[in-house]
Amino acid sequence: MSGTLSAATRAALAQAVSVLVNTAGGVACGDTFAIDLALEPGADLVLTTTAAEKIYRSDGPVSRIANTLTLGEGAGLAWLPQETIVFDRARVRRRFEADLAAGSALIAVEIVAFGRAAGGERIADGLFADSWRIRRGGRLAYADDVLLEGPISDHLARPAIGGGARACATILDVSPGAEARLEEARTRLAEAASPGTTAAASAWNGHLAVRALGDAVGPLRGLVARFLAGYRGLPMPRVWQS
């Protein structure tokens, strides 16, 4: 039976996959969630989630999500959670921190939808703050901060911010050789594109970053999944296909 499987499928089946479950059903009103993940040298893991994370409206308190990763020498992590949906009047601050050994490899994706497009929901008021800090060998390699506050949908309508987008995505590859894959990444983005989405890639300081926008989260999610499947040479986790 195994002889009928492709090399990519066999590799995917051999890779450990961890699926996170939010038993609270969502994040709201000052909730705090924290993930602290450490991979020993040589470990190889895919981490994903069962479904979209939901950030519900708050009557004032700010919810906080903290993800802290540590990768030992030669370890590899594909951080592939499904999308986060931010509801009107949600208030959340997220932090993503990773400490990588010099020879470790991290591919991370985050997709955020602002409002439920099917219901025409807009974010008339809210707070979304997202902070990324990634260190390699103890030195800062990547830093990024996003702050959207107040009428978020109106902010995203501005050409210099979102051009009317309702969803955004970041894909980051901090792996040995990532910077040299820029042209490949741009080619794969062009192949993965669909109507209502736009994306671009850049590379510097030893890593590669992709930014993408979508009129709705569905087409954007599809672009991300197609790009990652080609770029990693492996299928997306099965929960992404349900």
- Please write the tens of the pLDDT for every residue from 175-228: 999 999 999 999 999 999 999 999 999 999 999 999 999 999 999 999 999 999
Q: What does the pLDDT look like over 51-76, one tens digit per residue?
A: 999 999 999 999 999 999 999 999 99
Round the average pLDDT of the chain to a whole number and report it: 93
Predicted local confidence at residue 12, as pLDDT: 54
Nearest to residue 228, comparing CAs of 108, 93, 64? 108
Model confidence at 1: pLDDT above 50: no
Question: How many angstroms separate the CA atoms of 161 and 27, rounded?
Answer: 26
Question: pLDDT value at position 202?
Answer: 98
Q: Give Cβ neighbours of residue 102 (< 8 Å, ≥ 6 apart).
A: 73, 136, 137
Reply yes or no on whether the pLDDT at 98 is more than 80.
Answer: yes
Residue 2 has pLDDT above 50, yes or no: no
83 Cβ contact partners less than 8 Å away, ≥ 6 residues apart: 52, 53, 111, 112, 113, 167, 217, 221
> What dihedral do alpha carbons 39, 34, 78, 189 form, nearest 10°?
-150
Mean pLDDT score, 114-134: 91
pLDDT of residue 22: 83
pTM of the model: 0.91
The pLDDT assigned to 6 comes to 56
> Does 145 have pLDDT greater than 60?
yes
The one-letter amino acid at 137: G
CB 27 within 8 A of CB 58: no
pLDDT-derived band of residue 119, with 50, 70 and 90 as boundaries?
A: confident
Q: Find, among 225, 148, 147, the residue nearest to 191 by Cα.
A: 225
**CA-CA distance, 101 to 122, in Å (whole number)?**
42
Q: What percent of the chain has pLDDT over 90?
A: 88
- For the segment 145-163, the average pLDDT, to the nearest whole number, is 96
CB atoms within 10 A of CB 152: 23
pLDDT range class, residue 5, cuts 50, 70, 90: very low
Residue 172 to residue 143: CA distance in whole angstroms: 11
- CA separation, residue 173 to residues 128, 169, 177, 209, 228 (Å): 23, 13, 9, 6, 11
Rounded Cα gap, residues 222 and 210, in angstroms: 15
